[in-house]
């Protein structure tokens, strides 16, 4: 990314806990667009006002979009193909 007006998935920790009911930043996600695997904490996050856009660090495609609808935060899935728990907190199982 050439600009630095983004943060990362760590910033989404509270919202993702609201929606999923558990800590999610250490989960693994697969990109349907380029096939790469990334820890949610490492997703490229654009905190746009209408919502937060979580993009794939490898190919920039949109994986999830979180919007603050009045009833509570909602996470839309776009190119996030799968989610998985990290079984070994020390080492990810797949090379990134």
Partner 1 sequence: MSFISRGFRGRPKVEAEAGRVPPGQYVTADFPVLSAGPTPNVPLNEWRFTIGGQVDKPLAWSWQELLALPAEDVTVDIHCVTKWTKLDTAWKGVSVDTLLKNVPTAAEFVVAHSYGGYTTNLPLEDVTDGKAWVAYEFGGEPLEPEHGGPARLLVPHLYFWKSAKWVRGLEVREDDEPGFWEGYGYHNYGDPWREQRYAGD
Partner 2 sequence: MARAALRGRLTWQVADLVDRIDETPQVRSLVLDVPNWAGHQPGQHVDVRLTAEDGYQVERSYSIATPADGNRVTITVERIDDGEVSPYLVDELRVGDKLELRGPIGGYFVWQPIDGGPLFLAAGGSGLVPLMAMVRARVGAGSDIPVRLLVSSRSTGEVIYSDDLHSLAKDHDGVEVIQTLTRAQPPGWSGYRRRVDREMLAAIAWPATDMPRCYICGPTGFVEAVATALVDLGHLPQNIRTERFGPTGG
Rule CB under 8 A: say whether 60 interacts with partner 1. yes
Residue 47 per-residue DSSP state: E
42 in the Ramachandran plot: left (φ > 0), alpha (ψ -120 to 50) or beta?
alpha
34 makes contact with partner 1 (CB under 8 A): no
Footprint (CB under 8 A) of partner 2, residues 23-52: 23-26, 39-42, 47
Q: Where are the alpha helices (DSSP H) in 8-96?
A: 13-20
**60 neighbors 47 (Cβ within 8 angstroms):** no
Question: Which lies closer to partner 1 via its Cβ, residue 3 or residue 91?
Answer: 3
Kindly state whether residue 60 participates in binding partner 2, applying the rule CB under 8 A: no
Residues that bind partner 1 (CB under 8 A): 1-3, 5-6, 46-51, 53, 55, 60, 62, 65, 67, 69-70, 74, 76
Residues that bind partner 2 (CB under 8 A): 1, 4-11, 13-14, 17-18, 21-26, 39-42, 47, 89-92, 95-96
């Amino acid at each position: 990314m050439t600009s630095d007006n983004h943060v990362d998935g760590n910033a989404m920790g509270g919202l993702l806990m609201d929606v999923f009911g558990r800590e999610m930043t250490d989960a693994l996600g697969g990109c349907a667009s380029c096939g790469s695997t990334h820890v949610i904490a490492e997703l490229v996050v654009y905190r746009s006002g209408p919502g937060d856009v979580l993009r794939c660090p490898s190919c920039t495609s949109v994986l999830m979009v979180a919007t603050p609808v009045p009833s509570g935060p909602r996470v839309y899935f776009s190119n996030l193909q799968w989610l998985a728990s990290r079984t070994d907190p020390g080492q990810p199982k797949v090379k990134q």
